[in-house]
Chain A
Amino acid sequence: MVSCTEFIMAYNELFSYLEEHHGEKSVIEFWQGISDNFLQNLRQLVSQKGIQGMKEYWTHTLTEERAKYDMTATEEGFTIEMYECPSVGILRRNRHIQRYSKYCQHCDLLYKRIIEDYGFCYKIEYLDQEMGRCRVTVRKKRD
């Protein structure tokens, strides 16, 4: 069984495999599929609770993944300041793994696709992809 502790490496390998054998378009289609089919819990939380739903979702996942981050949630917006992304940390520590060059991009596609359906703008800034530092900013869309 591929354990949860090995999943990030397996995920990374799948991105590389898809791109090498079927092109970048295939990786994008896979990410879209994950977002549409497998993040129903995030979609439900955002549709029902808005920013509080985002806070709930990422507090749960980032705690389980032991990320080092700060999170702020107000009525107007939501931010995650990621200091040490747990996934990137796993790929850095396991030196026998060749990291997929666009690994971090999946966080843009997966979440933007959901959050922007509910009246928000989602932006991710990659501050240091090698070290796993990024900033996610969500704001309410203005009419």
Chain B
Amino acid sequence: MTTKIDIHKDFHGSFSYGLQFLCENYGQEEMEAYLTRLARTVYRPLIDSLKLRGLPALEEHLIYIFNIEEGKFEISYQNDVLVFQVGKCPAIHHMKEHDYPIAQKYCEHCRILNQEICKAAGYNSSTEYDQDKGSCTQKFWKEK
């Protein structure tokens, strides 16, 4: 069931500006360092939940946020790998729709956050994206 929740989608533009600010003023390494910290602070409850409950915790998180943001996606398991395919990224779509500038490395934030969240919980991930199209494939699996 999808619950319609009012959200302020312009926040995507502000977040994107923050990433661009870090890259332009301090270099890409600083953007990566900030995102690594973000994964381990803001996403601490998700890390704990992933450790405790495994991939269903991540699956529920992704379904929840992409439903309230009205993204288009498919999610499934291929053997022991959780595969999340995004056909319409709500953030990219909103920024394009409103003609907001999009950080050159915007989609890197998903790759880095996924990687750091998984690493902290004993999992692994891969994120392949096409920023212009606003689509990506994210995969998650338990580290052997």
Q: Which of B4-12, B49-57, B75-83, B118-126 contacts the other chain?
A: B4-12
Shortest beta-carbon distance from A15 to chain B in Å: 10
Contact with B along A49-75 (1 / 0, CB 8 A): 000000000000101111000000000
Most chain B CB inside 10 Å of its own CB: which residue of A1, A7, A65: A1
B30 beta carbon closer than 8 Å to chain A: yes
- B30 & A21 in contact (Cβ 8 Å cutoff): yes
Nearest-CB distance from A79 to chain B (Å)?
22
Question: Do A64 and B38 have beta carbons less than 8 Å apart?
Answer: no
- Chain A nearest CB, measured from B53 CB (Å): 18
Chain B at the A interface: mostly helix, strand, loop or mixed?
helix
Chain A residue with the shortest CB-CB distance to B109: A2
Q: B interface vs A, CB < 8 Å?
A: 5-15, 17-18, 21-22, 25-26, 30, 33-34, 37-38, 41-42, 44-45, 65-66, 68-69, 71, 89-91, 100-101, 109-110, 113
